[in-house]
Amino acid sequence: MGNPSMERLDAVPGIQAFESRVKGTGYEMTDASLDTMQVNVGRLCNLSCKHCHVEAGPGRREIMSSSVMEDILTVCREQQVGTIDITGGAPEMNPHFRWFVQACREICDHVIVRTNMVILTKLGYEDLPEFYADHKVNLVCSLPYYRPAETDRVRGSGTFQTSIQVLRRLNGVGYGSNPELVLDLVYNPAGAFFPPAQAGMEQEYKTKLQADFDIVFNRLFTITNNPVGRFGAFLERSGNLRGYMEKLCRYFNPATLPSMMCRFQLSVGYDGSVYDCDFNQAAGLPAAGGARISDWVGKPYRPRKICFGQHCYACTAGAGSSCGGATA
């Protein structure tokens, strides 16, 4: 059986193949060195957000084992990666999570954890703000909007107020004010439209969150919703898939190509499978050069041809989009 995300995108008529837009630009290949290792430690999550491209939720049981984590750590050490980016699901729900974060910090100065924040109020997770601060983890926190109605519509009733509670707690341990404790937020559109300009939206978030809740943070990342996973299924159900894809294609921006995140990273799934990015992982498009992270252990890193699909238009439309926000 094929991947539903890829099947629905390939079936949209009139959309030029993304790979043909990149051909001959020099950006079909990855960079010569590996900068970022992104690790999806599992699909289990306490939330079921409407835009989630990996379709995480409370009913998912895919969890990364410690043996896969050991292989990841070995490759990171061998390749001297600059960043280890830990995501999920709610990554905190992996039983090996704390050990893995500590091990990552021993070999890498920049460790990111992507958190939905709500998990930090649940039994057994309440001490994680201090844990994060102790290990100087860069937190990237999902907050779909700075008002409750929009956030709760995407993530569930009451999630906005809980997120505000957690942000205050993180500020209390130094996040957002201590230069070593970086607190970044993520904005995702609530529907089939592009995010606003990142710089303007960041200032808007900072002004509103400080005025209304006395909350400070470092950066805001605006991310274009990718038409795979749960959001892709929503587009199809609502009759918006073709229009959204046409818009992504129409606003393709060649200036975003040099900064595509797939050029500088590996993305590892819960089972050790390897992809060019987290969106390719959701779309089921494996990376060239080794099917599993264990295949990369003890081997020199070489540039590889990137595996592209129609969903890649989401990363290259307008100002561009990546896990680190706008790219152009």
Q: What confidence tens digit (pLDDT) does each residue in 173-214 have?
A: 999 999 999 999 999 887 788 999 999 999 999 999 999 999
> Cα dihedral angle (97, 99, 100, 106), rounded to 10 degrees?
150
- Mean pLDDT (the chain) is 93
DSSP 8-state symbol, 159 = H
What pLDDT, on the 0 to 100 scale, is given for residue 1? Answer: 39
Asked if the bond preceding 320 is cis, omega within 30° of 0, the reply is no
Beta pairing partners, 36: 83, 265
Give the whole-angstrom CA distance, residue 57 versus residue 67: 24
The SS3 call for residue 265 is strand
For 283, the token pair is 């779309």
For 93, the token pair is 């729900």
Number of residues in the chain: 328
- Write the DSSP string, 33-78: S--EEEEE-BSB-S---TT-TT--BTT---B--HHHHHHHHHHHHH
With a CB cutoff of 8 Å and minimum separation 6, the contacts of 243 are 192
Mean pLDDT on 56-75: 95
Q: Closest by alpha carbon to 105, among 93, 94, 113?
A: 113
- 11, pLDDT greater than 90: no
The SS3 call for residue 286 is strand
- Write the DSSP string, 197-258: -HHHHHHHHHHHHHHHH----SEEEE-PPPSSHHHHHHHHHTT-HHHHHHHHHHTB-GGGGG
* In the chain, domain spans: 31-240+259-307
Compute CA distances 98 → 69, 103, 107, whole Å. 12, 9, 15
The answer to which of 106-115, 127-136, 154-163, 292-301 has the lowest mean pLDDT is 154-163
pLDDT 10s digits, 228-250: 888 888 899 999 999 999 999 99
What pLDDT, on the 0 to 100 scale, is given for residue 49? Answer: 78
What pLDDT, on the 0 to 100 scale, is given for residue 190? Answer: 75
> Cα dihedral angle (9, 13, 19, 25), rounded to 10 degrees?
-130
Give the whole-angstrom CA distance, residue 226 versus residue 50: 12
Topology of the domain comprising 31-240+259-307: TIM Barrel (3.20.20)
